Amino acid sequence: MAAADPGREGGQVRRALLSLVALALPSRQRPRLPRTPVGGVRSDRGEPRRRGDEARRRAAPRLSNFRLAYLVRGDLLLARSRPLLTFGNVVKTVPQDRIEGLREEALARLRAMRSRPSEDRLPRYVLQLHPGQKHVLVVDSRRSRLYVFGNDQGRPRLVADFYVTLGKNGVEKIREGDQKTPIGVYPHVTGNLPRSKLTDFYGAGAFPINYPNEWDRRRGRNGHGIWLHGVPADLYSRPPRASDGCLVFANPDLESIGRYVQVGRRRSSSPTQSNGAMPRR
């Protein structure tokens, strides 16, 4: 019978929390995270604590509406007094569905960070890009991640990726009101709706796509109003499954994605829902 090592388990949770904080910082500001030797346990507790203080200090000014960051901060402060055995240590009076949504977001962000596709892995649905198509956007629904591929002489090349919220009931939209995100190829971004023309619900703006397309209609799928859009000012992000079918991003991410979208051109951008991993090419 082996006894659990709370010091090791607590250290693993703490390092995962520091990774989440680092993900929210620009690369030039990200603190170096403590490393644990394989099969070993750190004995210098001062260094991880100093790194945690540095991450919290740098993240605080720019994450005032990032609820996940506050949960992480609470756990990092708690780690000063005792080992952490789980993520999201809060009092029982806090609604558990909210905490569960934050846990799911944390897992999605960590998994994406640890399994970012290498440059030799490409989406199986994108074989070659038309010369007039500068970028293609591919969504992996299992990872809650949007990947941006640039056109490198017809060959897709990964240039950026972003956390994305999808429909409350998952993917494969069939009918209006099913709260699912459609799976398909949507090469026509029909508009660029600025913040000034929308309610605060849509955040930094919106990019409607051409759902349903001709293939969807032939398959009997209906509905409308599938957009890429932001979040209200009092939020930084939403859980992985929380929209009514749209693709929802943190406002800074949506603004970045906007640089890759060519509005109104049928070959400009292809938001594609993918349930599969990116195979080696």
226 against 56, higher pLDDT = 226
Q: Which range has the worst mean pLDDT, 18-27, 96-105, 134-143, 239-248? A: 18-27
DSSP E strand boundaries for 141-234? 145-152, 155-163, 166-167, 193-194, 205-208, 227-229
Pairing label, strands 205-208, 227-229: antiparallel
pLDDT of 87 strictly over 50:
yes
Q: pTM for this structure?
A: 0.76
Q: In sequence order, which residues have a C-beta less than 8 Å from that of residue 220 and are 6 or more positions away?
A: 174
User: Please, what's the b/e burial string for 134-146 (b: 16 or more CB within 10 A of its CB; e: otherwise)?
Assistant: bbbbbbbbebbbb
pLDDT of 92 strictly over 90:
no
pLDDT of residue 268: 40
Token duo for residue 263:
């509005």
Confidence class for position 47, pLDDT limits 50, 70, 90: low
Instruction: Beginning with the edge strand found earlier in the chain, give each strand of the sheet holding 135-140 in spatial order.
Output: 155-163, 145-152, 135-140, 272-274
Distance CA 19, CA 132 (A): 38
**Peptide bond before residue 131 is cis, with ω within 30 degrees of 0:** no
The DSSP bridge partners found for residue 229 are 206, 248
CB distance 266 to 187 below 8 Å:
yes
Distance CA 140, CA 147 (A): 8
Distance CA 184, CA 216 (A): 8
pLDDT of residue 275: 47
User: How many CB atoms lie under 10 A from the CB of residue 252?
Assistant: 15
pLDDT of residue 236: 94
Instruction: Beginning with the edge strand found earlier in the chain, give each strand of the sheet holding 205-208 in spatial order.
Output: 193-194, 205-208, 227-229, 247-248
Q: What is the pLDDT of residues 115-126, one digit of tens each?
A: 888 777 777 778
